[in-house]
Amino acid sequence: MNKLIDKHIEKSFKRLSEKEYQLPDVYKPLTYTWQGDWEGRALLAYCCLYKITGKKNAAMDDFIKIYPEKANKDGYLGELFDPEVVDEQQLSGHNWLLAGMIEYYKLFADEKVLGYAKNIFENLYKKATDSIKNYPVNREKANVGGVSGTHTGLILNKWKVSSDVGCVSMCIDGVSRYYEVTKDQAAKDFLDMTIDMFYNFDKRAARAQTHTTLTATRGIFRMYKVTGDKEYYKKALDIFNLYLEHGMTYTYENFNWFERKDTWTEPCAVVDSFMLADMFYEETGDKKYLTLLRRIWFNGLNHCHRDNGGVGTSKTVYEDNAYTGMGSHYEAAFCCTMRYCEGLVAIDKNRALLTYDQNAEAVIDEKGRKIRDDAIIIKDETTGREFPIFELAFQEKNDKVYRVF
């Protein structure tokens, strides 16, 4: 299994060294509707791969060097904040830029980068504090949106809302990282308001995006670790349990939205679920989280990693669909390819827990899945061959499907 993990790291490092993640392409034009998102995920990926390998991505330092040229006069990307029309996707996207800046600062103690992070918080998120009170938590159910979310065309309560329902709450992650470093009371005030809004948001009724849900939950858990306030822990646990019951597929991946099972998975969320299982296991020592950690790794985080080093979507497996296979996106280069690198940090840390015994007895569980040592055994019905699902890692593009139960 160590060799498999090493190959994941090698594949991701190579992919992140290619054109889309190098200058000038990594910085997106003003017409890009997720300002700060691609850039931030890339910077965070550079930092994560550096943690694992000790090697810098070729774009890493120059990304920081030219950031002031790319930022607007208030120190972030895109249009200036407008309280009359708050762009949900700008606040969501800048979560990753803020997260990347903080991780770079933690690695290299570069004070100017902490200054960039401060500008993002002070001039974007802090200004949005009052707007969070009016976020439209009650709205009609929708069946719109793609693998990459879009503006819906609606402005509700002065919010330009996204098809990635609830995605403003993504910023709980980035702002909690900022608070962890600065202890800025204004950041905590923003976080408490946003966490309260998101916790009380009926995620199933609104069909909230599960990636947002889990990223926000990691931020809430981080606030528990930073402050010791067990109310944060309770909220993080409640939301994670909601996801486990209503947002997770039979292959330990995610449905892209709550209550929309016939869609696709998003490895960004699978990464988040793995990280949360790790966090709860470290906190509690409860073996159920260790089992969950292992099952997400074997069944959710291998076959999404493609031959080209990118990461893509899969078919959702649930009571009405017994088959797994590649989803509509061979690679989600704009998000999952980069976020997978953050997952690799947690995977690398947990190598000793992620061993596999191919001689263990296979059992059939209550869902009809055949499981050996936490890995689901799938079947190629064209050949009759049965094998663990993690052997689908690093495939070229194909339309094959495999029976899960």
The predicted-structure confidence for 147-177, as pLDDT tens digits, reads as follows 567 788 899 999 999 988 899 999 999 999 9
Per-residue pLDDT, 142: 60
pLDDT (tens digit per residue) in 17-31: 999 999 999 999 999
- Asked if residue 105 is part of any domain, the answer here is yes
Q: 0.85 cut: is pTM over it?
A: yes
Residue 161 in 3-state DSSP? Answer: strand
Which two three-digit tokens encode residue 170? 């993504």
Decide if 317 is inside a domain: yes
Residues 314-318 have a mean pLDDT of: 98
Give percent of the chain above pLDDT 70.
98
12 pLDDT more than 90:
yes
| 3-state SS class at 26 | coil
Query: Is 390 among the domain residues?
Result: no
Q: Identify the band that residue 353 occupies on the pLDDT scale cut at 50, 70 and 90.
A: very high
Report the pLDDT averaged over residues 126-144: 84
In a domain, 120, yes or no: yes
Query: Is residue 320 domain-resident?
Result: yes
Assign residue 115 the CATH number of its domain.
Answer: 1.50.10.10
Map residue 39 onto helix, strand or coil: helix
Provide the domain limits for residue 113. 2-359
What is the pLDDT at residue 399? 96
Whether 376 maps to a domain, the answer reads no
Task: Reply yes or no on whether the pLDDT at 145 is more than 90.
Answer: no
- Give how many domains the chain has, as a whole number: 1
Task: Among 163-167, 210-214, 372-376, 381-385, name the one with the lowest average pLDDT.
Answer: 163-167
- Give 141's pLDDT tier (boundaries 50, 70, 90): low
pLDDT at residue 140 is higher than 90? no
**Mean predicted confidence (pLDDT) in 273-298:** 98
In a domain, 396, yes or no: no
| pLDDT bucket at 113, cuts 50 / 70 / 90 | very high
DSSP states along 166-179? TGGGGHHHHHHHHH
CA atoms of 255 and 236, how far apart (whole Å): 19
Rounded Cα distance between 390 and 300, Å, is 8
The tens digit of pLDDT for each residue in 171-223 reads 999 999 999 999 999 999 999 999 999 999 999 999 999 999 999 999 999 99
Residue 373 lies in a domain: no
Per-residue pLDDT, averaged over 328-345, amounts to 97
| Whether the predicted pLDDT of 275 surpasses 90 | yes
Q: Which residue in 96, 87, 277, 78 sits closest to 172, CA to CA?
A: 96
216-233 pLDDT tens trace: 999 999 999 999 999 999
pLDDT of residue 112: 98
The runs of H, that is alpha helices, within 17-87 are 37-53, 60-70
Q: Label residue 115 exposed, middle or buried (CB < 10 Å: 0-12, 13-18, 19+).
A: middle
